[in-house]
Amino acid sequence: MVQAEIKDPRVRSVTVTRVEATRDLSYADVYVRTLTDEVSVEDAITGLESAEGFVRRRLGRELHLRRIPDFRFHADRALEHVQHIESLLDEALGEHGDDEGD
């Protein structure tokens, strides 16, 4: 729905990576990434925030829930975190490997 129905060009390359809702469905934390570097994730989040009303109405019609949560959009930085950890491990193993004659 995000890519196909929201007309805002800032959200064209957005993908939702996970959603965590509170038990009472009052809030849902929505984690997103952009698939290209054409739009920053911060700009994409701004676009999603401006389309929140549309998304909530659409979900209300589709899901038939009593309450549609308010969305809180966040940049999903998990991939960057994993890459940072991998680079630290590569450094540590590279330095350690030199001592053992790998």
Q: Residue 52, class by beta-carbon neighbours within 10 Å (0-12 exposed, 13-18 middle, 19+ buried)? A: middle
The domain limits of the chain are: 2-76
What is the pTM for the complete model shown? 0.75
Q: Cα separations (Å) of 42 from 12, 19, 33?
A: 13, 18, 10
User: In CATH, what number does 2-76 get?
Assistant: 3.30.300.20
Of 91, 23, 87, 21, whose CA–CA distance to 56 is shortest? 21
Residue 13, both tokens: 């390359």
pLDDT of 16-63, one tens digit each?
Answer: 999 999 999 999 999 999 988 888 999 999 999 999 999 999 998 998
pLDDT of 51-99, one tens digit each?
Answer: 999 999 999 899 888 889 999 999 998 877 677 788 888 888 887 655 5
